[in-house]
Chains A and B, each alone.
Chain A
């Protein structure tokens, strides 16, 4: 949700928000989090990938600032990069960006966030809704699609996230 007046990229980067906020074309946008269903899912996803970081040669980061365009910074709930990250703020596209839905997340705002990841060439965008539970995947060619399978998979490299591991 956008708040306040426009600020510069420099001011955003020099400021710590608690919790951290997205920066979209000069506006600070709050993120919906802080509730148990969201936190539990986010923790489970992070833990799953963290336990396999050496096996798959990946890094996993919860709530990491990612510069998706010169004037936009997004904070995916979880992101996975191949190898080591490129800095304290990620400026290269993560391999996977994962969002854990909160009950107050709006369709239009989630779609804008997804668009930012896809425009940055993030290879895989997954949206997990603990309410349901439901899962969506987004690709540039097909857009947002509900996922009806049991295991989310990537190619090159092949990683997987069995949904039973994160939805109790």
Chain B
């Protein structure tokens, strides 16, 4: 269900689940998704909500509108409510509608607004957030973003990975993608477009961080200089001079021409 979710969108759901347990709810309701959204994507919240509206004020309003219950342990599995499920389905439709490959927090916001009779939509409307305004802004911003090197790389890679016989779990990040065997096991490859301002020391620190998370291959593309670097825990950083990048266990090949072509 969450394969096309960006890291941020996944964290929204994670935080929503936490909020639901804090409220003692037996299901993840739309208001919990809204709180997760505001917590995870502060830039989005600042863009659409009045400056005076803090997450805490929205949480207080939810507390006032919902019955007081005892907290539930976070180890208890909480299902999505029917309204939340519909909101997530709408979010996927909104991503399609905007021709976005991935589902991010902004699509979740649209999904909540489309589920008109839910508490989250009420809270958003009370604060002057309309579906039309969010759609317009996202469509305008999407036109800018689709032209960035990171975006172009994501689109090309996703098309390539979808064409492979084996299915991989692909998650979009700021400048690239992580690739995993499935959505349950962690990613094993991280692919990124190198920013021209990236410091070599930061690249190494980032690599160490990724290795700590279980990633075994970093494939870094300098699209301006048309260079490729591979970083692995064993060999460190190596410029790649071949035609096809290869990962093992599971096997995955990526012809460099798929990115630079």
Residues on A close to B: CB < 8 A?
101, 103-108, 110-111, 129, 131-132, 134, 136, 141-146, 148
Whether A136 contacts B198 in the complex (CB less than 8 A), given A107-B203, A108-B225, A129-B204, comes out as no
Q: Which of B198, B199, B222, B238 contacts A145 (CB 8 A)?
A: B238
13 additional contacts, CB 8 Å, given A129-B200, A143-B227?
A101-B200, A105-B200, A106-B198, A111-B227, A129-B201, A131-B201, A134-B236, A136-B237, A142-B238, A142-B239, A142-B241, A144-B239, A145-B237
Task: Output the residue of A105, A106, A144 with the most chain B CB within 10 A.
Answer: A106
Q: How far is the CA of A52 from the CA of B63 in the complex (A)?
A: 76
- 10 residue pairs of the A-B complex, CB under 8 angstroms, read A101-B200, A103-B201, A106-B197, A106-B199, A108-B198, A108-B224, A131-B204, A142-B241, A143-B240, A148-B236
Q: In B194-233, which residues have CB < 8 Å from any A CB?
A: 194, 196-201, 203-204, 222, 224-225, 227, 229
B68 on the interface (CB 8 Å rule)? no
Counted as pairs of residues, one from A and one from B, with CB atoms less than 8 Å apart, the total is: 61
B235 on the interface (CB 8 Å rule)? yes
Chain B interface extent, by class:
20 to 34
Q: How far is the CA of A143 from the CA of B227 in the complex (A)?
A: 10
Q: How far is the CA of A142 from the CA of B242 in the complex (A)?
A: 10
Contact status B201-A143, CB under 8 Å? no
Q: How far is the CA of A40 from the CA of B200 in the complex (A)?
A: 19
For the complex of A and B, 6 pairs with smallest distance between CB atoms? A143-B239, A146-B236, A144-B239, A146-B237, A108-B196, A107-B200
Q: Which residues of A contact B204 (CB under 8 A)?
A: 129, 131-132, 134
Q: How far is the CA of A147 from the CA of B198 in the complex (A)?
A: 21
Task: Output the residue of B198, B201, B203 with the most chain A CB within 10 A.
Answer: B201
Contact status A106-B236, CB under 8 Å? no
Contact status B237-A144, CB under 8 Å? yes
Contact status A146-B235, CB under 8 Å? yes
Q: Which residues of B contact A110 (CB under 8 A)?
A: 200
Whether A111 contacts B196 in the complex (CB less than 8 A), given A105-B201, A134-B204, A136-B237, comes out as no
